[in-house]
Amino acid sequence: MTTNQTKKPPGGWPPGTSGNPAGRKQGTGEVSKIRARISSRLPELLDALMVSALSGDVGAARLLLERAVAPLKAAELPQVLHMPGDTLTEKGRAVLDAVAAGEIAPGQGALLLGAIGAMLKLIDADEMAKRICLIEVALKIQGKQ
């Protein structure tokens, strides 16, 4: 008995090949059916939800607001900050002084101090690389003598 069905090759399907190339037709799943039923009655549902929210149902009001209004995000405006001094320590003190004086927000101060700390790590890495190079040169010189 011969059939036109494709049999799975031994060892599985090769990458990029499917045993069902046409796939399932869109809109035939249960979720699609539920969405279609909801969308057909959406104006009624929204009206009922609005009535509930206006009559004091906090859950309905919250649902409407969460879905209709974009959440507010904190916005920090750029702030010019004078950081006197040559050392990172002095710059860190300037940031703390600016936070204490109310010139910048504490969150901005924390970010700036974090950036100063990251800069310190970069400087340390550069200095370490220079020291290693000097040690390697010194060892090569000693090896030649």
Q: How far apart are CA 144 and CA 141, in angstroms?
A: 5
Q: What is the pLDDT of residue 14?
A: 76
Q: Which helix (H) or strand (E) holds 119?
A: helix 106-144
Q: How far apart are CA 107 and CA 77, in angstroms?
A: 12
Q: How far apart are CA 14 and CA 49, in angstroms?
A: 51
pTM of the model: 0.46
DSSP string, 13-58: PPTT--S-TT-PPTT-SHHHHHHHHHHHTHHHHHHHHHHHHHTT-H
pLDDT digits 0-9 by tens, 3-26: 556 666 676 777 777 777 777 777
pLDDT band at residue 121 using 50, 70 and 90 as cut-offs:
very high
